């Protein structure tokens, strides 16, 4: 018995899955619609049917890739709180290091006013902000506007450190991650948090 034909939504999702998988080895700027069509087992004109044009296709692929990137950045909440921070920094750094063209493309499009990319980019930031706020709450630290602003500023710092390290790795990878982790604890007092009362020794 012949398999039921895919719905348009399923076919579109399959094409995007193939494109996201290709980005594991192909830079985003070099992703070819013909290559995606061939790997997905469809004709190139079908991609235009689903995505209208090349820009629509690239935007859809970038949204799907960025959503997957955001999923990878989600901290492991099963770890003790101090270990979560270290693991969170490493997860963020690894995600950006492994997919810099996607992360930079999301940043550029978010800054240009693309609302869907802005939402994804903000979502990445909110994932960390909420998680860190919840973790600090376990130590009795209340979430305040100053603390949220400090966490957001730390994320911007960490982002810049990782991207700069990619361009010019003047220190070891572990040293770079150590710097990002230490910066977080040094920034907390500016938000009114007494770091000495936190048990960050694990």
Q: Which listed CATH number (2.60.120.260, 1.10.357.10, 1.10.10.10, 2.30.30.90) goes with 62-191? A: 1.10.357.10
Q: What is the pLDDT along the chain (202 residues), one digit of tens a residue?
A: 344 456 778 888 899 999 988 887 888 778 889 999 999 888 888 888 888 888 888 888 888 887 777 777 676 777 776 677 788 888 888 888 888 878 888 888 788 887 877 887 887 777 777 778 887 887 788 889 999 899 889 989 999 999 999 999 999 999 999 999 999 989 999 999 888 777 654 4
The predicted structure's pLDDT at residue 180: 92
> Do the domains 62-191 and 10-52 match in fold?
no
Q: Which two tokens stand for residue 176?
A: 């770079």
Tokens representing residue 177 in the block: 């991650």
| Domain 10-52: CATH architecture, name and number where available | Orthogonal Bundle (1.10)
pLDDT given for residue 202 in this prediction:
45
Residue with tokens 């572990």: 174
pLDDT for 200: 54
Q: Model pTM greater than 0.85?
A: no
> What pLDDT score was predicted for residue 146?
92
Q: How far apart are CA 154 and CA 86, in angstroms?
A: 14
Helix, strand, coil percentages in the chain from 3-state DSSP, rounded to 5: 75, 0, 25
Rounded Cα distance between 195 and 136, Å, is: 11
Specify burial of residue 143 (Cβ count, 10 A radius: 0-12, 13-18, 19+): middle
Tracing tokens 């048990």 back to the chain, one arrives at 199
What residue segments make up the domains of the chain, in order of their start? 10-52, 62-191
Token pair, residue 66, equals 């960025």
Which residues are within 8 A (CB) of 70 and not within 5 positions of it... i.e. 6 or more apart? Answer: 120, 123, 124, 127
Please tell me the distance from the alpha carbon of residue 180 to that of residue 201, in angstroms, as a whole number. Answer: 17
Reading the block at residue 180, the tokens are 């990002």
Q: How far apart are CA 91 and CA 93, in angstroms?
A: 6
Nearest C-alpha neighbor of 29 from the set 98, 102, 132: 102
Give me the pLDDT at residue 182, please. Answer: 92
Distance CA 160, CA 162 (A): 6
Looking at residue 169, its pLDDT comes to: 94
Residue 59 has a CB neighbour count (10 Å cut-off) of 17
């Amino acid at each position: 018995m012949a398999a039921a034909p895919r719905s348009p939504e399923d076919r579109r999702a399959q094409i995007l899955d193939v494109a996201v998988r290709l980005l594991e080895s192909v830079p985003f700027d070099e992703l070819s619609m013909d290559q995606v069509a061939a790997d997905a087992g469809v004709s190139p004109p079908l991609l235009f049917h689903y995505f209208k044009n090349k820009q629509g296709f690239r935007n859809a692929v970038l949204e799907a890739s960025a959503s997957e990137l955001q999923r990878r950045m989600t901290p492991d909440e099963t770890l003790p709180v101090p270990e979560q921070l270290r693991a969170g920094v490493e997860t963020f750094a690894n995600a950006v290091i492994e997919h810099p063209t996607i992360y930079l493309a999301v940043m550029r499009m978010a800054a240009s006013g693309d609302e869907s990319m802005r939402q994804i980019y903000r979502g990445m930031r909110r994932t960390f902000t909420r998680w860190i706020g919840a973790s600090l709450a376990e130590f009795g630290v209340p979430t305040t506007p100053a603390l949220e602003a400090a966490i957001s500023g730390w994320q911007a710092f960490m982002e810049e450190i990782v991207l700069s390290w990619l361009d010019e790795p003047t220190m070891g990878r572990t040293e770079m991650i150590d710097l990002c982790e230490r910066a977080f604890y040094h920034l907390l007092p500016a938000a009114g948090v007494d770091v000495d009362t936190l048990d960050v020794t694990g």
